[in-house]
Amino acid sequence: MAAGSNASGSSLAAPETEALRLLALEIAAQAGADEAEQRLISAAAPLLGVLFRRFLSHDIQALDWADRDRFVISPSLQPLACALLRLLGRDAVEQADGNGGKADNGDAGVETRQAAADGGAAKQSSSADGVPVADGVACGLTPRGLDLPLTLPGHGLAAAVGMALAARLLRQRFGPEIFGHATWVLIDDRDVEPGVAQESIAIAPWLSPQRLVVLHLTAVHGDGSENVRQRCPNHLARFAAAGWHVQQARADDEESIAEALKQALEGQEGADEDGARPAYVAVEYPAGQGIADVAALRGRLGWHELAAGEVPGEVRDEWRLAGLKGRKARKVWQQRVEELDEADRQALARWLEQPLAENFRQHIRALRVALAEQALPHDLRAMLKPLLERSLPDLPDMVVLASLHADLPDAEKLPEVENAEAPATGMRQGQEQATPVLDVGLRPMALAALLTGIAAHGGLRPVGVVRGQQLAPMLPMLGEAARAGLAFGLCVLDMAGCQHMPAEALPEEVEVLFPADAVEMVECWQLCMQ
């Protein structure tokens, strides 16, 4: 296709990128997005196109693949997520699920080209108005096919740190051949400022998350030259000061984006799990750039004869192939799992399915007997330490995050506390041992987001421990995680510290248990683990 100018006056990008931009803008227009949101969506299209077509390892037809790359996107970019899933062929998978696993291949050309990648596809489907939809809505929560349906600004960024932490802990247990994937998160300026994001930015380098790359789409004011560029605040300096590996790229230059993503990954290659640094890429776009008119953009692309929500077949096919790009890697991974020895293969299945061990139930019964015989303290705070000590050996997939900052008396401190001010070590490959307790300091919002990310990743059983007075700032994240169907445990000590909080303040989606004594605390713990 010959290069030209789109409605905003800039040169046309690759047809696949323009297709993503066009469909996203159509969805945004239908949803009533304002000019700033449309400008952000338009600027993000090249970045997302490069990421999914060149870097991100995934198979759109196997979203439960344990070693797939994870991807989290800002709530500001939901129209782009909807358009992306349509182009990748997520609708084809949904149709196949409803037809007994048989997908509807569009035409012989599509079938032939995708056979080369061991994949199938389906025709593009659309709403009654011809605009692509995802799960019945044109623009809303992150549609099925992405990893975190979160809408609070900053929550996705913070939860992605938890996902990458889970990947690192699983890698230490099963090795990089089984868990070697990356976690990508696409954010904008509104996702960096909230407190939950700032807490997570500060603590992420100390947690040594595995192959975490944050892509920050940030507006640049002025003409873009160094002497007039105004950043408030300077996000590059902020991330660098926290210990992140930082890179820059231009949003309108796909090769610049590709090089920055390559450098971000290479900056983490070769580092062991205790030395890996998360990567931050600032992708800059002019704050005052024009907005592409949808009809004019279709005309410039020569697609004016196609209805809204439709793109040329060859462009659609390229995106469908991108959606299957990780299929070969998935088959190699499955072969590696089959080559594990019997003990490791069974352990991997247990960690992914997370059944409760019989020893855990036996120890719970022993705890009740000890309490009945007055062999254990009946104080709830003092009871937590023996409860964890007896549970950790039976639940090697459990990870405990605490926001206590070592302010408990010695008799009440948690077992094996590993402070986040030094790099976390955790499990070692081949050892079926308990995950240590990680103290994240006085960062309750970050703790809630880390629990969310670990639960979303899968393979681990996350539990948090906080003081009562720290609960209030965590409530929005807890409610959103519950609405997303994510499950984790949270033990709140010293509820007297939050007696001012009415029961109505607790999110209704969160199941709350109030043990009256130590025996009930043991029973609540068992329910939480189940």
Measuring CA to CA, which residue among 174, 205, 198 is closest to residue 67? 174
Q: Which two tokens stand for residue 231?
A: 């950043």
The predicted structure's pLDDT at residue 67:
92
Tokens 């100018």, residue? Answer: 5
Tokens 């090089």, residue? Answer: 259
Query: Looking at the whole model, is its pTM more than 0.85?
Result: no
CB atoms within 10 A of CB 255: 10
pLDDT higher at 48 or 412: 48
What string of DSSP letters covers 363-385?
HHHHHHHHHHTT-S---HHHHHH
Measuring CA to CA, which residue among 421, 456, 425 is closest to residue 441? 421
CA atoms of 121 and 60, how far apart (whole Å): 10
The predicted structure's pLDDT at residue 100:
47
For residue 95, pLDDT over 70 is answered with no
Digit-coded pLDDT (tens) for 385-397: 777 777 777 777 8
Q: Which of 5-14, 25-34, 500-509 has the highest mean pLDDT?
A: 25-34
Digit-coded pLDDT (tens) for 99-113: 444 444 333 333 323
CA atoms of 61 and 102, how far apart (whole Å): 12
CA atoms of 334 and 349, how far apart (whole Å): 13
For residue 433, pLDDT over 80 is answered with no
Digit-coded pLDDT (tens) for 309-329: 888 889 888 988 888 888 999
User: Span 172-192, mean pLDDT?
Assistant: 91
What is the helix (H) or strand (E) element at residue 249, kind and residue range?
Answer: strand 245-250
Digit-coded pLDDT (tens) for 338-378: 999 888 888 888 888 877 666 777 778 887 787 777 766 66
For residue 179, pLDDT over 90 is answered with yes
What is the helix (H) or strand (E) element at residue 166, kind and residue range?
Answer: helix 155-174
| Mean pLDDT computed over every residue of the chain | 74
Digit-coded pLDDT (tens) for 242-272: 999 999 999 888 999 999 999 998 877 644 4
CA atoms of 381 and 408, how far apart (whole Å): 9
CB atoms within 10 A of CB 381: 16
